[in-house]
């Protein structure tokens, strides 16, 4: 019995030794799998944070450039990347003219938890974002109004908007002070006041450069609009179509879209309940107050083209 017990003990000791050897042999691949599961996952998480920073940095630099002054691009990019990743650093942003865009690249070292066991202490993580911009080429304006290219030039001195002086701009029917911008009857489109037909069921209007918008007849805004639609945008900047050609009259009257300008709306009078307080004009006059300005639009409601007329407004898009 004692002999059998000794033999069994020796056998168990041998198996324990074999187990230890097997464990030692498997330890390295196990650590390798841990490196893949933990360290590679950490790399993806770090790159996601860095990508958010690169996107934000590219948008910020593009906003400055689209306004006509890129400023210190590296400082702008570094500030946005560091705000999303404290150890992230930005390379010098790269401008391109074809297409008009800026590319920002950020990088950061990512320390590993398990990979040092197999000889990898850290990995350099990078992320790149490219933002393009240009003038609006088509989109949806939040108000069904249009102004003539002639009126735009008169208000801006024939160039890009630069000031913040509030002025009263009369719609075409009331534009006696700008008679050179209207037709012989005092209105470019007989029967029209400068309102355009809105999209069905909305107070918005979708159009495109070189396309036609049709006149909405009557001396008040289209029937789908309410006073609240105009009150909502008072004090804000909106993109409005600028027309350079027009024709016919009444319900068949049309305006050709030349481009889109950003207008800071401060007041309006369209008759009846469609008036701000105080009214900027009275009686049968129809007018808005505000000023054309430089503006960057980030909404997906607009497309851009490098060839679109530059009227002070720009559309930005992440393109890579």
Same domain, 285 and 147: yes
**Whether this model's pTM surpasses 0.85:** no
Query: Which residue from 160, 58, 159 is spatially nearest to 106, judged by alpha carbons?
Result: 58
Same domain, 164 and 312: yes
Torsion of CA 160, 164, 167, 171, to 10 degrees: 50
Q: What is the pLDDT of residue 169?
A: 83
- pLDDT of 179 reads 45
311 occurs within a structural domain: yes
Instruction: Tell me: pLDDT of 175 over 90.
Output: no
Strand partners of residue 89: 107
Per-residue pLDDT, averaged over 90-115, amounts to: 83
CA distances to 67, 187, 190, 208, 254 from 194, in Å: 29, 9, 10, 17, 10
Number of domains in the chain: 2
Domain end, chosen from 103, 132, 161, is at 132
Among the listed residues 58, 72, 31, 190, the one whose alpha carbon sits nearest the alpha carbon of residue 127: 58
Q: What average pLDDT does range 219-246 have in this prediction?
A: 92
The first and second tokens of residue 52, run together, are: 């958010």
Mention every residue, 6+ apart, whose C-beta is less than 8 A from residue 185. none
Contact 143, 230 (CB under 8 A): yes
Give yes or no for a contact between 23 and 58, defined as CB atoms under 8 angstroms apart: no
Q: Do 307 and 185 fall within a single domain?
A: yes
- Which residue would you say has higher pLDDT here, 295 or 123? 295
Question: Distances from the Cα of 40 to the Cαs of 21, 34, 45, 89, 129, in angstroms?
Answer: 29, 9, 9, 21, 22
pLDDT tens-place string over residues 28-62? 666 566 666 666 666 677 788 889 999 999 999 99
pLDDT at 113: 54
Q: What is the pLDDT of residues 72-88, one digit of tens each?
A: 999 999 999 999 888 88
Q: Examine residue 137 and state whether it is found in any structural domain, yes or no.
A: no
Last residue of a domain, one of 83, 99, 132: 132
The answer on pLDDT for 13 being more than 60 is no
In a domain, 308, yes or no: yes
Looking at the fold, whether 124 and 152 belong to one and the same domain comes out as no
Q: Are residues 58 and 180 in the same domain?
A: no
pLDDT at 86: 80
CA–CA gap between residue 153 and residue 130 (Å, rounded): 33
Q: Are 139 and 206 in contact (CB under 8 A)?
A: yes
Its domain, for residue 69, covers: 1-132
Residue 81 covered by a domain? yes
Query: Does 201 lie in the same domain as 111?
Result: no
Instruction: Judge if 120 and 153 occupy the same domain.
Output: no
CB atoms within 10 A of CB 86: 9
For residue 57, being part of any structural domain is answered with yes
Beta-sheet pairing, 295-297 with 313-318: parallel
Task: Reply yes or no: is the peptide bond before residue 265 cis, omega within 30 of 0.
Answer: no
150-153 LR contacts (CB < 8 Å, sep 24+): 150/178, 150/180, 150/181, 151/175, 151/178, 151/181, 152/242, 152/261, 152/292, 152/311
Residues 125 and 163 in one domain: no
80 lies in the same domain as 9:
yes
Evaluate whether residue 176 is within a structural domain: yes
- Same domain flag for 163 and 293: yes
pLDDT of 264 above 80: yes
Is 158 a residue whose pLDDT tops 80? no
Regarding whether 186 and 122 lie in a shared domain, the answer is no
In this structure, the answer to whether residues 167 and 30 fall within a common structural domain is no
Is residue 99 over pLDDT 60?
yes
CA atoms within 13 A on the CB side of 282: 2
Chosen domain end from 112, 132, 152: 132
Residue 248 in any domain: the answer is yes
């Amino acid at each position: 019995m004692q002999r059998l017990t000794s033999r069994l003990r020796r056998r168990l000791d041998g198996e324990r030794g074999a187990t230890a050897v097997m464990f030692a042999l498997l330890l390295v691949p196990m650590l390798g799998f841990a490196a893949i599961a933990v360290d590679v996952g950490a790399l993806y998480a770090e790159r996601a944070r860095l990508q958010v920073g690169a996107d934000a940095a590219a948008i910020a630099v593009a906003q400055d450039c689209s306004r006509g002054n890129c400023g210190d691009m590296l400082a702008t990019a570094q500030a946005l990347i560091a705000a999303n990743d404290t150890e992230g650093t930005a390379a010098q942003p790269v401008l391109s003219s074809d297409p008009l865009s800026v590319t920002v690249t950020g990088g950061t070292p990512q320390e590993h938890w398990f990979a040092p066991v197999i000889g990898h202490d850290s990995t350099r993580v990078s992320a790149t974002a490219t933002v393009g911009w240009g003038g609006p080429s088509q989109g949806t304006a939040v108000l069904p109004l249009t102004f003539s290219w002639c009126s735009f030039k008169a208000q801006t001195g024939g160039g890009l908007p630069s000031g913040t002086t509030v002025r009263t701009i009369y719609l075409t029917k009331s534009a006696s002070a700008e008679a050179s911008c209207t037709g012989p009857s005092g209105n470019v489109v007989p029967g029209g006041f400068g309102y355009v037909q809105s999209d069905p069921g909305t107070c918005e209007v979708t159009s495109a450069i070189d396309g036609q918008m049709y006149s909405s007849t009557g001396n008040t805004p289209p029937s789908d609009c309410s006073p609240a639609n105009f009150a909502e945008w008072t004090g804000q900047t909106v993109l409005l179509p600028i027309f350079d050609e027009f024709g016919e009259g009444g319900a068949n009257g049309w305006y050709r879209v030349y481009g889109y300008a950003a207008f800071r709306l401060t007041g309006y009078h369209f008759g009846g309940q469609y008036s701000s307080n105080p009214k900027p004009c009275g009686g049968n006059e129809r007018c808005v107050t505000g000023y054309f300005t430089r503006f960057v639009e980030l909404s997906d409601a607009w497309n851009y083209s490098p060839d679109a007329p530059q009227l002070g407004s720009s559309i930005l898009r992440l393109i890579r």
